[in-house]
Amino acid sequence: MARPRFRPVFTPGGFAILIIALIILSRSLYVRNPYEITVSSAALLLLLILCVIGIWKSKTLDTLEPGWKPPSPMTAKAGDECLITGLDAPIPLFFRYHFIVRGRFYPAGSFKGCPVLAETVVPRGETAARILLDFPMSGIFQGDGYCRLRDIFGFFSFPCGTHHRRTLKIRSAPCFGKNYHINAQSGAEDRRNKNSTDEERYYMREYSPGDRFRDINWKSSEKVDTLITRISPDNQEKISRIEVYFRNYGPVNKPSIEALWLLDRAKARLSHFLRSLKEEQSSYLFHVISAQGSCEIEDIEDLDNFLEELAGLPFSPPQNETAALSSAGDLYIFSTACDSGLPGFLVSCNPRPVSLFLAQPEAPEKHERETLRVREFPAMGCVPLPRWIVRRNIKQLTVHAGREEFNYAEVKL
């Protein structure tokens, strides 16, 4: 754990008081004004006492290790708070612990981040506190969390204890998408839990909580050293393999906030699609392909790991890509209006049936839209980049697929 960079112990207000007190004292000595001499001397004496106490106490707190526990998972616009613990060392009267989080936020995984600052005060006598760390969209946050010892007058701020560097991935806020129902018999690859080398286990499965004890096959369980439950061959679990393309192609260098918001909404729709189908049928197996590679999602743990990685996926340079025709069944594609290669990709998908989920700008009238406001950034402690203030219109992408669902997203100041 590295120490935070050097910061002066005087706050801007404390430094201003020091300069004013020195000016008043020098002027009062020159004109021999006893009232001004008393007031300025009292102010300087107070600053001196607070400074000495603060320096002494901060030295004794070098080994303080405050704990910083963010919520898991972190979701945009969720209003979640991070838990701060370990602040149990006593401090002098008129001083308080302040916990500060400072770093940069990279919206939708972009390569250019915006500054972030969040701070909380620990009430006297408390050993824990909470700090609000929220973000308006998905992305990656990289920053430090550290403690400062400050007087209640706001004159001094002393470093104390170690600090933590964290990289947090923020998932997209939920989208407006409806649950998507698929017919497992209409083209997804089906497979059964049959093991050709072990015909006996073909009619069995491992015991899980809730199974009846009378269904346990004790002889088979002794052979494999695990509990095996009898099942009927007609009730074997069917696993449907679903192929999904997430086309995160678009502007890489200095993407506009409009483009990043479209990418965020595409991530949100994909997350909703995967999670709703997995909750509907746990046996679904997803093969997800993105610009960064492919992965298999078999269970809830795989899904959570994928959603964590999805939060930080940035735009990739546009490229010509063709769909794999070796597989049968429906193909599910998630993309944005920034994907210039999407029309050609859809042509390459023939004759496979395609379901397209597209994040588009400029919603037609009476269509539901998801709005990101730039002013949400400073309200959440993020400093928006200057170029985000300039509106850049993104044209709608005209495409045709067997089944289409559009999510409309817009950015306002």
pLDDT digits (tens, 9 = 90+) for 312-323: 999 999 887 776
Please work out, in degrees rounded to the nearest 5, the angle formed at the alpha carbon of residue 246 by the alpha carbons of 244 and 247: 135
Confidence class for position 107, pLDDT limits 50, 70, 90: very high
Question: Tokens 């595409």, residue?
Answer: 266
Strand 157-171, strand 74-75: pairing: parallel
| Phi, psi torsion values for 49, nearest 5 degrees | -65, -45
User: Above 90 in pLDDT, residue 364?
Assistant: no
Question: What pLDDT is attached to residue 95?
Answer: 95
Side chain identity, residue 185: Q
Nearest of 262, 313, 255 to residue 288 by alpha carbon: 313
CATH topology of domain 239-412: Rossmann fold (3.40.50)
Question: What pLDDT is attached to residue 164?
Answer: 87
User: Is the model more confident about 282 or about 48?
Assistant: 48
User: Above 90 in pLDDT, residue 63?
Assistant: no
Structure tokens that stand for 204 in this block: 């069995």
Nearest of 357, 366, 341 to residue 404 by alpha carbon: 357
> Percentage of the chain with pLDDT > 70?
86
Confidence class for position 91, pLDDT limits 50, 70, 90: very high
User: Is the model more confident about 364 or about 85?
Assistant: 85
Looking at the chain, the domain(s) classified CATH 3.40.50 span 239-412
Looking at the chain, the domain(s) classified CATH 2.60.40.1930 span 1-171
Question: What pLDDT is attached to residue 100?
Answer: 95
Strand 228-230, strand 139-151: pairing: unpaired
User: Above 70 in pLDDT, residue 219?
Assistant: yes
Q: Which CATH class for the 1-171 domain? A: mainly beta
What pLDDT digit, counting tens, does each position of 323-340 carry? 665 556 788 999 999 998
User: Above 90 in pLDDT, residue 213?
Assistant: no
Structure tokens that stand for 172 in this block: 């997209």
User: Above 50 in pLDDT, residue 382?
Assistant: yes
User: Is the model more confident about 378 or about 4?
Assistant: 378
The average pLDDT across 88-102 equals 93
Average pLDDT, the chain: 85
Rounded to two decimals, the pTM is 0.80
The average pLDDT across 177-201 equals 52
Contact 154, 14 (CB under 8 A): yes
Question: What pLDDT is attached to residue 173?
Answer: 93
User: Above 90 in pLDDT, residue 189?
Assistant: no
> Percentage of the chain with pLDDT > 90?
53
Nearest of 106, 95, 99 to residue 85 by alpha carbon: 99
Question: DSSP state, 249?
Answer: B
User: Is the model more confident about 184 or about 136?
Assistant: 136
